[in-house]
Amino acid sequence: MFQGILGDIDLRGLTPSYSLAVVKNSQIVFFEGYPDFFVYDCASITKPLVTFPIVEKCFDLEEDARDYFSELPYSIKIKELVNHTSGLIPWLPLYLFKNSYRETIIEKGFKGKKGEKVYSCLNYILLKELVELNLKKPFKEIAEDFFKDFKNCFLPPLKCVNVAPTERGNVFEYNLAKDFVKNPDKRKFRLNRIIKGETHDLNSHYSNGIAGNSGLFANVFGVKLLIENLLEIQNFYLPLFERDDYFYHLGFTGTGIAIDKKQNVFVIFLSNYICPERKDINFSSIRYRIFKKCFERFV
């Protein structure tokens, strides 16, 4: 049935494993997993599913983040961090700089145009810093408390055997870091070993496994519960992106969620397509096609 949805795309030739679920009116109406029920590093879908709900409970989204961090270069509503319109650049290898994550973001990150939507992991790392300041404890402890209400959701490190591995070392991130730091320390990038049970994203890895931008591990059943929780928030779409008739978010490891604008159907796709290395294919377009085909069949 799955190949019937995707047509001529042989997904098993693109990723070592995957799980696909379609949920309609809170019921899983379609599921396929290959080879089985894996737990995945969900990567950036941590942003809308974990960090945003925590932020939304802690703050009025219209508040000025500068009221908490006076060193910010200009006034920024918390909502503008959530929806990627703060003026931050997409990414920095924060773990390679001497200063704290917050100090480095404020010093080097605000080089974009405020009001322009530019996807940035730095927004959510800064939101994590805001939450820690507000609740006066590490974000990992805050996330652990949050996960008490959600089965099949985990924080790293994980030692269970059914965790899907990711890249053989952070090769892609190492090459990306060269644009920001001359001769990055290779020891930081876990080269020459398969990453498994540890957060793939290094900004999160070096921040107790979760830095607001990444760190969620889950199977499709855990992600289902998190999406249902997200949909209870009035402005649930704020951390998401819009395409055709649905809202969506993707994750670097090969994950993605999509929510029909009528909110009664959503799609969960988890994979580890970057294992053992990131392939030179447009995997985003494949996920968009999966979303479209699922909505065509089940909406």
Which residues in the chain belong to E strands, given as ranges? 18-24, 27-34, 40-41, 153-154, 217-218, 241-243, 246-251, 255-260, 265-271
Q: Does residue 200 sit in the same domain as residue 164?
A: yes
Please determine, for residue 3, whether its predicted confidence score (pLDDT) is greater than 60.
no
Instruction: Look at the chain and count its residues.
Output: 299
Interval 51-90: pLDDT, tens: 999 999 999 999 999 999 999 999 999 999 999 999 999 9
Q: Does residue 167 sit in the same domain as residue 275?
A: yes
Q: Does residue 183 sit in the same domain as residue 35?
A: yes
Q: Does residue 18 sit in the same domain as residue 150?
A: yes
pLDDT at 161: 80
Question: What domain count does the chain have?
Answer: 2
Structural domain including 184 reads 2-46+146-298
Please determine, for residue 215, whether its predicted confidence score (pLDDT) is greater than 70.
yes
Which CA distances in Å does 206 have to 64, 96, 215, 298?
28, 10, 11, 41
Q: Does residue 130 sit in the same domain as residue 89?
A: yes
Which CA distances in Å does 70 have to 66, 102, 148?
5, 12, 33
Contact 43, 255 (CB under 8 A): yes
Whether omega for the bond prior to residue 53 falls within 30 degrees of 0, making it cis, is no
Least confident of 96-105, 171-180, 273-282: 273-282
Q: With a threshold of 0.85, does the pTM exceed it?
A: yes
- Residue 140 within any structural domain of the chain: no
Single out the residue in 135, 169, 184 at which a domain terminates: 135
Q: Does residue 165 sit in the same domain as residue 273?
A: yes
- Residue 1: pLDDT band (50, 70, 90) is very low
Q: Does residue 160 sit in the same domain as residue 278?
A: yes
Single out the residue in 71, 106, 135 at which a domain terminates: 135
Q: Does residue 175 sit in the same domain as residue 104?
A: no
3-state DSSP call for residue 210?
coil
Q: How far apart are CA 292 and CA 286, in angstroms?
A: 10
pLDDT at 9: 64
Q: Does residue 29 sit in the same domain as residue 56?
A: no
Give me the chain's average pLDDT, please: 95
Q: Does residue 171 sit in the same domain as residue 260?
A: yes
Single out the residue in 106, 135, 164 at which a domain terminates: 135
- Residue 95 within any structural domain of the chain: yes
- Residue 141 within any structural domain of the chain: no
